[in-house]
Structure 1
Amino acid sequence: MRLRCAVLDDFQGVALESADWSVIEDEVEVVSLREHLDGEDALATALTDYDVVVTLRERVPFPGSLISRLPRLKLLVASGMRNSVIDYAAAEKYGVTVCGTGSSGIPPAELTWALLLGLARGIVQESTALRANGPWQSTVGTDLHGARLGVLGLGRIGGHVARVGLVFGMRVSAWSPRLTKERAAEHGVELAASMEELFADSDFVSIQVAGGDGTRGLVGAAELALMKPTAYLLNTSRASVVDQDALLAALHEGRIAGAGVDVFDIEPLPADHPMRTAPRLLATPHLGYVSRANYSTYYSQAVENIRAYLAGSPVRRLP
């Protein structure tokens, strides 16, 4: 009898087209689930008959309480090689192998720039007005050349964001707790003396630090209060890094010029979530990792992970 594999959150219906799943079809029946399963009870009910689950990023938590309710689950494949919402101890306890996949930092860096440019030049507002036969020009764009870009976190993605800023002729600085002057210089950027200086001096602040307990609430009301009223905040990292209530207050009160956000405390966003109606906000539904190249990597390596597991030699094991 073939194993059963569920591919979660295939919103666009492209998971089965993004890789060659036929190489495991004799041993595994693969089912694409396009609707998000919200809550542990829904997940436990929907996944009870599956031996393998493929999940995207950290959208779906797999705590021990859920894993214990999935008696058939033997292999959990998560995109990327870091996942903070899987209980690895519980997975080991219940005999569940957890594997990851490769990923590229370029697509989220590119989306960061899409949001930044959209905010700087009022793209959505002007395009909407043009289509609705509204006012012809209602905004005045913010110049990038000569402006200060502050990058909070100069890792794989932050490094891409910083280099693009330099191409635009921006003055780029960066800060993170362990960032050195030498490492910043390797990217051609300045090391800010402190996170406070980064927020106070920048015209655009791009958050690129990893999620987790160490960065939870790293950016709160105090940091946002340091920003210029003409400055913009970008977050394509993790929602937990920024205090959501503090950001909403800053947007509603006009204390910053605007924000570009791709990550949220609840995903998908509920219909009544305040982020849907916040002013001065350019928001996208967590598109940072959503690109053809990344999907090809995710799902091709998911297939490789399943084949390796079936052969008794799992690869890319997490954590």
Structure 2
Amino acid sequence: MRIAVLDDWQTIARQVADWSSLERRAELVFFHDALTNEDEAARKLADFDILIAMRERTPFPDSLIERLPNLKLFAMTGRRGSSLDLASLKRRGITICYADGADAGEATSELTLGLMIAAARAIPAGDAAIRAGGFQGGVPAGIQLAGKTLGIIGLGRLGSRVARSALALDMRVLAWSQNLTAETATAVGARLVPKQQLLTESDVISLHLVLSSRTRGIIGAPDLAAMRKGAILINTSRGPLIDEPALIENLRAGHIWAALDVFDQEPLPATHPLRSLPNAVVTPHLGYGTIETFRSFYRQSVENVLAFLDGAPIRILDV
């Protein structure tokens, strides 16, 4: 029996869970680098019986799944994955189980707050200047957030936490999403407004939506053009919520700032323009990735695999 632990990009898996019980019963292989394409994934994973996959990293479309003849258990972190063909796994009789993280929204909402402050005060540019031997020269003057307006698109669990943080900074909070009600917005100190009003009145806009056919490209070229000059657009949800080519064009024109933790393609290609734009603060999809979350993900993943090997699988995902 061979088990692959995929997508361990920060080499954290061994540090946060006890794998010894699995290693006594199977060969365990950790993958620390991203699998760059479907052919590489098929070649390297074809001999494995069990895959432990980190959410939203390696895609598993039907075309890849059919090239994994030995696969018996797909152990995923989280309960949802837009890059996974769960129906294909089920159709082939592959057991799917999930692991829940410790994050109830705290980790990603905290990162959102950090990105907002980093962009508002040009913290990355200041850090780079110090490390290069300089000081304030070339570092843009930032803005204070107190008294500014935050627009939140998607006022669910994460968006509500961000709203409360913004209120603590003495910001005004507007909110919009397709199904948001005024009562829900008021309950967290925000005001429901039409999307266009949010775009034109906000100094900072933060996205907190699940990626779906309805939300893909929800921020397009006309929306970016409607934003205030110098406004900050934050995305810690999913890259394709924003029309990325339009965003890059807008950033190059110097109209807005962006603070991004997620991208259309991850890992972000080495030559991608977002890596070099001075008005973009970028982080490598750190949102949910805290020690606490990884500890819970991997501890439960070990439990899931052991239960499967014992013939009594747990945390079965209902697809």
Give, in whole Å, the separation in 1 of the partners of 2:212 and 2:313. Answer: 26
What residue number does 2:157 align with?
156
Equivalence map 1:36-75=2 (5 Å): 36-75=34-73
SS of the counterpart of 1:100? strand
CA distance in 1, matches of 2:136, 2:15: 42
In angstroms, what is the RMSD of aligned CA positions?
Answer: 1.4
Structure 1 CA distance for aligned equivalents of residues 82 and 162 of structure 2: 24
Q: CA deviation at 1:135?
A: 4.4
Q: Distance in 2 between matches of 1:278 and 1:127?
A: 16
Distance 1:156 1:315 in 2: 26
Separation (CA, whole Å) in 2 of partners of 1:159 and 1:311 = 41
TM-superposition CA deviations, 1:67-90 (whole Å, max 9, x none): 111111111122111112211222
- Unpaired runs of 5+ residues, structure 2, are none
Could you tell me which residue of structure 2 aligns to residue 102 of structure 1? Answer: 100
When structure 1 is superposed on structure 2, of 207-216 and 240-249 the one drifting more is 207-216
- Structure 1 residues 55, 206: closer, same or farther in 2, change over 3 A? same
> What stretches of structure 1 of length at least 5 have no aligned partner?
none
Q: Indicate the residue corresponding to 1:85 in structure 2.
A: 83
Q: CA deviation at 1:147?
A: 0.7
- 2:212 alignment counterpart: 212
Q: 1:24 to 1:183 in 2, by over 3 A?
A: same
Question: How high is the TM-score relative to the length of structure 1?
Answer: 0.95
Give SS of 2:52's match. strand
Q: Confirm whether residue 275 of structure 1 aligns to residue 274 of structure 2.
A: yes
Does 2:126 align with 1:146? no
TM-superposed deviation, 1:49? 1.3
Q: Which amino acid aligns with 1:128?
A: A
- State the partner residue of 1:167: 168
Q: Amino acid of the residue matched to residue 88 of structure 1?
A: L
Which string of whole-angstrom CA distances, capped at 9 and with x for unpartnered residues, describes residues 107-145 of structure 1?
Answer: 111111111111111111112222323243643221111
Give the Cα–Cα distance (whole angstroms) in 1 for the partners of residues 308 and 135 of structure 2: 59
Summarize deviations over 1:19-66 as a string: whole Å, max 9, x none.
Answer: 122233332332111111111110011011111111111111111111
Aligned to 2:286: 287
Paired amino acid for 2:240: S
SS of 2:245's equivalent in the other structure is helix
Number of aligned residues: 315
CA drift of 1:158 comes to 1.1
Paired with 2:313 and 2:192, the residues of 1 have a C-alpha distance of 41
| CA distance in 2: counterparts of 1:34 and 1:241, whole angstroms | 27
Q: What CA distance in whole angstroms lies between the structure 2 residues aligned with 1:188 and 1:315? A: 40
Rounded Cα–Cα distance in structure 2 between residues aligned with 1:204 and 1:77: 38
Letter in 1 for 2:54: L
CA distance in 2, matches of 1:136, 1:24: 53
Partner of 2:263: 264
SS in structure 2 at match of 1:178:
coil
Q: For 1:280 and 1:68, how far apart are their aligned partners in 2?
A: 43
| Residue of structure 2 in register with 1:241 after alignment | 241
Query: Secondary structure of 1:278's partner?
Result: coil
Distance 1:27-1:133 versus aligned 2 partners, 3 A rule: closer
Report the AA paired with residue 155 of structure 2. Answer: L
Q: Secondary structure at the match of 1:151?
A: strand
Cα deviation, residue 225, structure 1: 1.0
* Secondary structure of the corresponding residue to residue 99 of structure 2: coil
**Aligned match of 1:202:** 202
The answer for the alignment partner of 1:255 in structure 2 is 255
Shift of 1:172: 1.0
* Structure 2: distance between partners of 1:223 and 1:29: 51
Post-superposition shift, 1:232? 0.5
TM-score normalised per structure 2:
0.95
1:152-176 residue CA offsets vs partner (Å, 9 max, x unmatched): 1111211111111111111112111
In the other structure, the counterpart of 2:315 is 316
Give the corresponding residue for 2:19. Answer: 21
Q: What's the secondary structure of 1:41's corresponding residue?
A: helix
1-structure distance, mates of 2:86, 2:127 = 47
Using the alignment, how far apart are the partners of 1:61 and 1:210 within structure 2?
Answer: 17
Percent identical among aligned pairs is: 44
CA distance in 2, matches of 1:154, 1:307: 38
